[in-house]
Amino acid sequence: MDRMQRRLGDGLQWITASALAPYQSAVIRIGFSATWLLFLLREFPHRQEMYGPDGPWSWGMAQQLTEDNHAFSALMWSDGQGWFELVYIVAVVSSALLMLGWRTRTMSVVFMIGVLSLQNRSVFMGDGGDNVIHLMSIYLVFTRCGQVWSLDARRARRGGTDDRFGIVLWWVMGLVLAAMTFTGKVGGGWLLFFWGMWAAQAVWWSVNRRDPQGESRLLCDVVANLLHNAGLLVVMVEACLIYATAGWYKIQGSRWQDGTAVYYPLHLDYFSPWPALGELLTTFGPMVLLVTYGTVAVQVAFPFTVFNRRLKNVLLVFMMLEHAVIAVVLGLPFFSLAMIAADAVFLPTSFLVRVGGWVARARGRVFAPTKTAAAPDRPAQADGEPVAAEQSAVRT
């Protein structure tokens, strides 16, 4: 009994003492925000047809759907052209700022608002990757994804304590929320959620200012660490569910059973940006058979290998290569980028630290050739992000 109690105590200490997997959470922050940003920039000339007031899925139809399913979309507050342009620009800017890790706590919420507003406005737009970004944008709100590789972490390392701009930003967000409340644009659970996030920032600032080393700060850290670790666990479970359901559904398909499923999408005009390449890849029948069965095997097996470091890392390589091929051969770059970003939560910490070192040295050679390149970022307190131990949610 005593041994079990000690293990239980060690487990509670592990999940409450720090925000785990700082490098993995930073990678998924950068990956999903960059994917959404690139998508919005590529579709900027076509934004009117996709999400604008005059799109095929009219504003009235979207309003009727959101009233039925209670989905959130700021674009439903007005059908004006100016409001649409403002929401689209805010979505672009928030994606860029979240990718850079500037005010990650606030930008993660604004990023989520941008994703939900555009995707719930026109639900038939997207290629599958939009569903992944849709879910992950919500999960990112609960994570401390700015501990490393962010402007917040750099500001924390420099010892910035007088955060006047942060206070101004908090007041601006409060005024926006007040306007939303009094005009009745948002109600129910979403309104409570936004006010709760706003109040949590006020509590965090107050505790840091009045009792930075006391029990109040410790309690805030514990709660924030629990939310972060739970959010990261949900991201991992979601990725496993995606692969598990995709693999098991494939098993039930006759074309996957006879080993010819990969052949057909490579000969569809819609999924053939390079017809000659698709023709070349399908000329050798055994290769089609091997890729078809291999895809199913990897997707079904992956959820069962996440606790085995070597097998998990091998399958990660295969899955990322598979998505890279899909991006080129089938012309689905944003779906592939979204899935690669989801896979990144399982990458080994040692590998990510090594990549961070390479990037830091390259940055040092480009921007400061006479200085020694900076060491890789370490978890630091930044914009409500605590100093975290160098641990990983996935033991690698």
**Using one digit for the tens of pLDDT, what is the confidence trace for 118-135?**
999 998 887 788 999 999
d(CA 122, CA 87): 14
d(CA 104, CA 94): 10
Burial class of 302 by CB neighbour count within 10 A (0 to 12, 13 to 18, 19+):
buried
Asked if residue 187 has pLDDT above 80, the reply is no
Mean pLDDT across 193-199: 95
Residues in CB range of 341: below 8 A, 6 or more apart: 27, 28, 31, 32, 34, 35, 132, 136
Which structure tokens are listed for 60? 């009235």
Look-up: residue for tokens 């879910």?
A: 135
Distance of CA 352 to the CA centre of its chain: 17
d(CA 35, CA 22): 20
Q: Are 362 and 129 in contact (CB under 8 A)?
A: no
Mean pLDDT across 311-323: 94
* Full-model pTM: 0.90
Look-up: residue for tokens 């999400």?
A: 51
d(CA 191, CA 18): 29
Confidence of residue 387 (pLDDT cuts 50, 70, 90): very low
d(CA 299, CA 334): 19
Mean pLDDT across 365-389: 53
Q: What is the pLDDT of residues 81-93, one digit of tens each?
A: 999 999 999 999 9
Which structure tokens are listed for 77? 């507050």
Task: Please name the amino acid found at residue 267.
Answer: H
Question: Which position has the higher pLDDT, 218 or 379?
Answer: 218
- 3-class DSSP assignment, residue 286: helix
Residues in CB range of 188: below 8 A, 6 or more apart: 70
Q: Could you give the angle at the alpha carbon of 338 between the alpha carbons of 336 and 342, nearest 5°? A: 115
Which structure tokens are listed for 19? 């925000």
Mean pLDDT of the chain: 87
Give the total residue count for the chain: 396
